[in-house]
Amino acid sequence: MSFVFDELVGQEHIIDILKSAAADSRTGSESQEMTHAWLFTGPPGSGRSSAAVAFAQALICPNQGCGTCNECQSAVTGGHPDVEIIRTEGLSIKVEELRELLTRVAWAPSMGGWRIVVMEDADRLTESAANALLKAIEEPGTRTVWLLCAPTLHDVLPTIRSRCRHLQLRTPSIEAVTQVLIKRDNISPTMADFAARVSQGHIGRAKYLATNELVRSNRRVIMQLPLQLGSLAEAFLAAQTLVDIATEEATALSELRDEREIEKLQEAYGKGATGRGMATGAAKVVKELEKEQKSRATRLVRDSIDGALLDLATFYRDAMLIQVGTAEALINSDMQKQIESYAAKSISHSTINKVNAIIEAREKLAHNSAPLVTCEALMCQLARN
Ligand SMILES: [Zn+2]
């Protein structure tokens, strides 16, 4: 059994720990492996939240995570009374939201086992929210298991991380991602190899790219930008192109989700209901949802720009490899000729500066700098020789 762990790619070193913890938690005895606060860290795309959710399933499933039973399935869809998956749409998790969550999970588990909270973005807790969470984690004798996820240990308050068992996920190898795309998603070997390579071990992104022609053609446009930076005017144009493409991609994604959510909410309140209380209640909740959606849309655009900048960085990374004479492991092997001719006209020192400029721009964006202005400044730097 324990099929839920099969979805985790390249994480064998932590799967064993999770499996034996789930087994221990079942025996009822004071277990070696089981503890009630866990912290999953790993780079984007390594699957830290998938690992946490799989562990939640293993804890509540009668077969230790078969993936097919009622318990396993309802845990993922949010229908299980003892499993809460907290996905943050906004930029932060505020203390009010956390208090509300604590009230919700204060009850004893309905099925007699564990009550489990998966928090996908523990790095977004505000300081006061983190302190409220800390108190809950420290509470003795509770049947609540906290599965927190964050990119790195440093993204979580030291007081919290010291009380959690820490599991570090790895970036899966390109080969491992390629195999999953071929076997699980029926993607052709050539496409799987391309998508795994350019996504650098980010499984979600690799699949998205492999199955979406528009995303691939957008990526091609982005990857041509370094070759079109002959003048400052072209640099400004390139910045606009990058921001436009990223925004368009993010908007398409969020519109789809927004519509579905509002529909679901209206259904829950009875669409077309005429009762006065019903109407004002629904209107208020829809308004709140729209506010959340707006903040998520902003975040998606930022994520999308960040993804485009990461792609751009791989161009200069490859150019650098060619300049120092090791061109075997190019990420963009499909563009080898173009990158070679770029590399021939420049020197490795200036290429390194360009990679650094991209890293700096990503950091600025992560700290809420204005996207277009940041990209314009970056493109002007990249246009310099
Ligand atoms: Zn199951």
Task: Tell me what the mean pLDDT of segment 104-117 comes to.
Answer: 82
How far, in Å, from the CA of 60 to the mean position of ligand 1? 8
- What three-state secondary structure class fits 9? coil
pLDDT, tens digit, 9 for 90 and up, residues 198-213:
998 888 889 999 999 9
Distance CA 215, CA 230 (A): 26
How far, in Å, from the CA of 61 to the mean position of ligand 1? 4
pLDDT class for 366, splitting at 50, 70, 90?
Answer: confident
State the pLDDT at residue 271.
Answer: 59
pLDDT class for 45, splitting at 50, 70, 90?
Answer: confident
pLDDT, tens digit, 9 for 90 and up, residues 280-337:
667 777 787 788 788 778 888 998 999 999 999 999 999 999 999 887 789 999 999 9
How far, in Å, from the CA of 34 to the mean position of ligand 1? 19
pTM equals 0.74
- The DSSP call for residue 346 is S
Task: Tell the residue number behind the tokens 């399933």, with chain if given.
Answer: 57
Q: Copy the structure tokens of residue 252.
A: 């398409």
How far, in Å, from the CA of 127 to the mean position of ligand 1? 36
How far, in Å, from the CA of 73 to the mean position of ligand 1? 7
Where are any strands of DSSP class E within the chain?
A: 37-41, 83-86, 115-119, 144-150, 165-168
Q: Of 260, 283, 259, which Cα lies nearest the Cα of 270?
A: 283
Q: Of 155, 173, 138, 172, which Cα lies nearest the Cα of 41?
A: 155
How far, in Å, from the CA of 173 to the mean position of ligand 1? 28
Distance CA 130, CA 141 (A): 20
- Polymer length in residues for the chain: 385
Q: Is the pLDDT score of 276 beyond 60?
A: no
How far, in Å, from the CA of 204 to the mean position of ligand 1? 24
How far, in Å, from the CA of 123 to the mean position of ligand 1? 29
How far, in Å, from the CA of 330 to the mean position of ligand 1? 42
Report how far apart, in Å, the C-alpha atoms of 12 and of each of 193, 216, 228 are.
Answer: 22, 31, 44
How far, in Å, from the CA of 82 to the mean position of ligand 1? 14
State the pLDDT at residue 279.
Answer: 59
State the pLDDT at residue 47.
Answer: 87
Q: Cα 327 to the chain's mean position, in Å? A: 30
pLDDT, tens digit, 9 for 90 and up, residues 237-274:
999 999 999 999 888 878 877 777 777 777 766 655 54
- What three-state secondary structure class fits 29? coil
Q: Copy the structure tokens of residue 161.
A: 């991380």
Q: Are 207 and 177 in contact (CB under 8 A)?
A: no
Distance CA 258, CA 262 (A): 6
Task: Tell the residue number behind the tokens 């400044």, with chain if given.
Answer: 377
CB atoms within 10 A of CB 354: 25
For ligand 1, an ion, list residues with CB under 5 A: 61, 66, 69, 72
Q: Copy the structure tokens of residue 74.
A: 């309802």
How far, in Å, from the CA of 366 to the mean position of ligand 1? 38
